[in-house]
Amino acid sequence: MVKKLFATTSFLLVVALFAAAPCTAQSEYLSGMKWEEPPVVTPGKTCGAPPSDAIILFDGKDLSAWENGDKWIVKDGVATVKDTDITSKQSFGDCQLHVEWSAPTPATGTSQGRGNSGVFLMDRYELQVLDSYQNKTYFDGQASAIYKQMPPMVNATVPPGEWNTYDIVWNAPKFKDDGSLETPAYITVLHNGVLTLNHFALEGITPFTEIPHYEKHGKAPIHLQNHGNPVRYRNIWVRELKPIVGVREREPYLHDHATGKDTPVKDVLKEKKS
């Protein structure tokens, strides 16, 4: 009983000491930037549904957003490849792109001759579409590869007839005034929710016959390929990516809330080095 009373008394004493102690002053890091407010975007109500700021390129009704879209077959909410490539009437730079595709059934052909199509960013950089479910081919030519440049980290392809999803983040290449490359294009891809390309830097265009290289260009269309196989597409939408703009009002600093003193970060780092 005495031990229990002593323990209880000690605990209450410690609590009282902490309650009576003054709060320790904290220094807060402040960037010195004044940022604009991020716009509000309403997410899609279901997985894969377009958010409120998306540009709808195909919603199952028609391909009026595409050049040569009338050449493909649109039926039951699905567009099937036929006769020719199609390109979006609108051009894009940095973007988030959602594409769903399905390989033909029954599966016929092998390697590059089975369920072949392609999603071309800016009309010239191909993300491969291919039936890669139990279908061997060269690795930088299988589904979710940047054609002839980089294989996917994993093969996430589902069986023919089922729907594959590509969620793509695209950073367009940047060029100097003289036409030379300033920064390459970068791509990140989730294939059926699985990361397959992680901020990969493209070497240039992705043709079958040419060496990858860059030539100066601006915004350009999204391009879906006809490779002779009746690949199906649905639910295609894109979001243009616009970075938040900030204005630097001062250099980064630490603010002491107890004293009101501001200390530039460069002075703190300088003191640590000395």
- Chain-wide mean pLDDT for the chain? 91
Angstrom CA distances, 104 to 77, 108, 191, stand at 16, 8, 18
Predicted local distance difference test score (pLDDT) of residue 25: 58
Asked whether residue 265 carries a pLDDT value surpassing 90, the answer given is yes
Domains of the chain: 22-38+244-274 (no CATH), 55-240 (2.60.120.560)
Measure the CA–CA gap between 159 and 258, rounded to whole angstroms: 63
- More confident site: 126 or 10: 126
CA atoms within 13 A on the CB side of 267: 8
Per residue, the 3-state secondary structure of 116-159, as one string, reads CEEEEECCCEEEEECCCCCCCCCHHHCCCCECCCECCCCCCCCC
Asked whether residue 14 carries a pLDDT value surpassing 50, the answer given is no
Predicted local distance difference test score (pLDDT) of residue 6: 40
Question: Averaged over 63-81, what is the pLDDT?
Answer: 97
Write the pLDDT tens digit of every residue in 94-129: 999 999 999 999 999 999 999 999 999 999 999 999
> How large a percentage of the chain has pLDDT more than 90?
87
Q: Return the amino acid letter for 218.
A: G
Q: How is residue 195 written in tokens? A: 């990361």
- More confident site: 6 or 174: 174
Q: Which residues contact 122 (CB under 8 A, 6 or more apart)?
A: 92, 93, 170, 172, 185, 217, 219, 220, 221, 222
DSSP state of 163: P
